[in-house]
Amino acid sequence: MLENPRSPRVRAVAKLARKAARVESGMFLLEGPQAVAEALTFRSELVIELFATPTALERYPELADAAASADVEIEFVTEEVLDSMADTVTPQGFVAVCRQFPTAVKDVFAAKPKLVAILEEVRDPGNAGTIVRAADAAGADAVIFTGRTVDLYNPKVVRSSTGSIFHLPVAIGAELADVLVRARAAGLTVLAADVKGDDLLSARNDGVLAGPTAWVFGNEARGLPDEQLELADRVVTVPIYGHAESMNLATAASVCLYESAFAQRTADHG
C-alpha cells in the first residue's frame, strides 16, 4: 500500500492536474468510480495505473471485477495519498492515470458523420465536458475542440464528461476554418449557435436539421465573432421565452444537438 503522500510517485500523479505535465507525459488524470468504470469498460487499454482505497473497493466491488477482466492491477493507497493525488476535494476513493487518445480531425470526417459538435474557444471546463456528455447522449458521431478551447484532458473537463470522452471520438487542436472546410467536403451543413442568429424553430421547420450537421459553439462570454459566423451556412439561436437574462452555453448546446438528433431520427424512420 502506498502510504506516503509526499513520495515521488504520488507527486508525479498529482502533477497531471497541470497542463504542462499532461503535455510532457501524454497522460491525464481520471477520478471517481463512475469515470474509472467507463474507462475500464470502453477503453481499458488506456488505463496505465489505477489507485484505490480499500474502503472504496469494498463499496464498489464491481470495479475490482472490471479491473481484473481488463487485466488492470489496482494499487491500494491511503485516504491521505488519494487526496494528494486527486484534483477534487472528494475523489470518492479512485484515481487512475490514463494515456491521452485524441482522434485526428481527418479521421472524424472520413467516418462520414451525421452529427458533430465543434467547440471554438470554449473556456469553461465544466461547459466543455458537459457538451461532450450531451453530444454522447444525443448520439453525435464526434466532438472537435478547436482554437483556444480548454484542454480536453483538464481534470474538470474529464469529470464533467462523466466518462463520455471514452464513448465517442474527440479531436483537438485544429483551426476552425480548416475544420469547416473538411465538414463541408464531407457533406455536412455548418450551423453556428449564436444570439445573433435566427430562431432555432426556423431551422426545425425548413428541415435543415434532418441532414448531416456540424454545430459550432463559441465562447461563453463573447460567442462567435462575425468573421467566424460568416463561415457558417446558417446562424441560429435558442430562443428564451421566459425572463432569463441568458442561457448557459452547455444547456443551449444540448438543445441544439438534441434538435438535430430528433430531426435526423424522424427522417430516418419516415
Buried/exposed 138-174: b ≥16 CB within 10 Å, e otherwise: bebbbbbbbbebbbbbbbbbbbbbbbbbbbbbbbbeb
The three cell numbers of residue 268 are 430516418
The three cell numbers of residue 106 are 481527418
Q: Quote the pLDDT of residue 270.
A: 63
> Where, residue-wise, is CATH 3.40.1280.10 in the chain?
105-268
- By the 8 A CB rule, do 133 and 158 touch? no
Q: Quote the pLDDT of residue 90.
A: 81
Q: Quote the pLDDT of residue 234.
A: 96
Q: Count the residues in the chain.
A: 270
Query: What is the chain's Cα-based Rg?
Result: 20
- By the 8 A CB rule, do 3 and 78 touch? yes
Q: What is the CATH topology of the domain spanning 8-99?
A: 60s Ribosomal Protein L30; Chain: A; (3.30.1330)
- By the 8 A CB rule, do 17 and 29 touch? yes
Q: Quote the pLDDT of residue 269.
A: 78
- By the 8 A CB rule, do 174 and 181 touch? no
* pLDDT tens per residue across all 270 residues of the chain: 999 999 999 999 999 999 999 999 999 999 999 999 999 999 999 999 999 999 999 999 999 999 999 999 999 999 999 999 999 888 899 999 999 999 999 999 999 999 999 999 999 999 999 999 999 999 999 999 998 999 999 999 999 999 999 999 999 999 999 999 999 999 999 999 999 999 999 999 999 999 999 999 999 999 999 999 999 999 999 999 999 998 999 999 999 999 999 999 998 876
> Where, residue-wise, is CATH 3.30.1330.30 in the chain?
8-99
Least Cα distance to 142 among 37, 233, 194, 214 occurs for: 214
Q: Quote the pLDDT of residue 89.
A: 82
Instruction: With residue 74 as reference, give the H or E element that holds it.
Output: strand 74-76
For domain 105-268, which CATH number applies: 3.40.1280.10, 3.30.70.260, 3.30.450.40, 2.60.120.20?
3.40.1280.10
- The secondary structure of 220-250 as a DSSP string is TTTB--HHHHTTSSEEEE----SS-S---HH
Give the C-alpha separation, 265 to 270, whole Å. 8
